[in-house]
Chain A
């Protein structure tokens, strides 16, 4: 299980723009580098990141070889209603990880 750290406010007012920061531990091996034995190390990267807010996708990203190891993704969304934000990373070799965070939205 890779480690993931998500930073976002636990509470927000309706209509407020909130910042979300997601950091995950992953080698992001490009598939271009030779290993110690001279053979090419097979590619192992995260290919897709999606954030769903109560089931609806609010942010998505495609990742490629040029992205560094332990990718950090920061983005914004508008707080509409209380609920759960679900973060999913998917990648090579069947890599899949999901994290959930709760958000409580109060009247503006």
Chain B
């Protein structure tokens, strides 16, 4: 009888643990001053990129002579919640694309303008401006078959050991999260704050830049910007982050 009670109590504890969300945004691992920098838009250097993006939103580009606003109108309405649903499967190109790839597709197809270079101020600005419209909203990865297939491949990559150090993403960010790697805390690899202003970069950067950083850290071969592996990893991270709040533009140390 006593054994049965203990067993029941153990089962209850396990059930409660499973219910409690133990996911923590990278922001919670930062120092108070960096947190304040992210929280306060008048302190957040990422707002420089956002304001640049807002300007571009309204500026005509390409042979079409159209701006983003010509079709999409007020970004505060049309782009609300959009960034929370990326990466997403694109039916025209038949592949999963992230937000900045989607922006470039719109430039090429609709504005008839040359695509913006990866990690350029212009592309990061537009991405940050669009992403900020979803701030505070829950991450909601699309449930269609294409995106789910990409996320599944991304999960494989997340668990795959790589590089000379022979480490997978999961070995640090799942198994060792919260512990320290030299002076910094290992976060849980939640990506809802991107693009971020990273103090180490002294600039804004995309999630792909961050992923490439980590890959160089474990001395793996680094895929180029826009590589499908990176987009698939992003798609898996979005599934892991489902329901967490969007923070863009985030600040990270």
Contact = CB atoms under 8 A, between A and B. Distances in A.
Interface of A: 3, 5, 7, 21, 23-25, 27-28, 68-70, 72
Interface of B: 42-43, 45, 47-48, 51-52, 199, 202-203
A69 B42 contact: no
Given A7-B42, A21-B42, A21-B43, A69 B48 contact: no
Given A7-B42, A72-B43, A25 B48 contact: yes
6 contacts: A3-B52, A5-B42, A7-B42, A23-B43, A69-B203, A70-B202
Given A23-B47, A25-B52, A69-B202, 13 more contacts: A3-B48, A3-B52, A7-B42, A21-B42, A23-B43, A23-B45, A24-B48, A27-B202, A68-B199, A69-B203, A70-B45, A70-B48, A70-B203
Contacts of A24: 48
B18 to A, nearest CB: 43
Nearest to A26: B48
Nearest to A8: B42
Contacts of A27: 202
Given A21-B42, A21-B43, A72-B43, A5 B48 contact: yes
A3 B45 contact: no
B201 to A, nearest CB: 9
Contacts of A3: 48, 51-52
B37 to A, nearest CB: 9
A23 B48 CA distance: 8
A25 to B, nearest CB: 5
A65 B165 CA distance: 36
Contacts of A5: 42, 47-48, 51
Contacts of A21: 42-43
A21 to B, nearest CB: 5
Nearest to B43: A72
B48 A68 contact: no
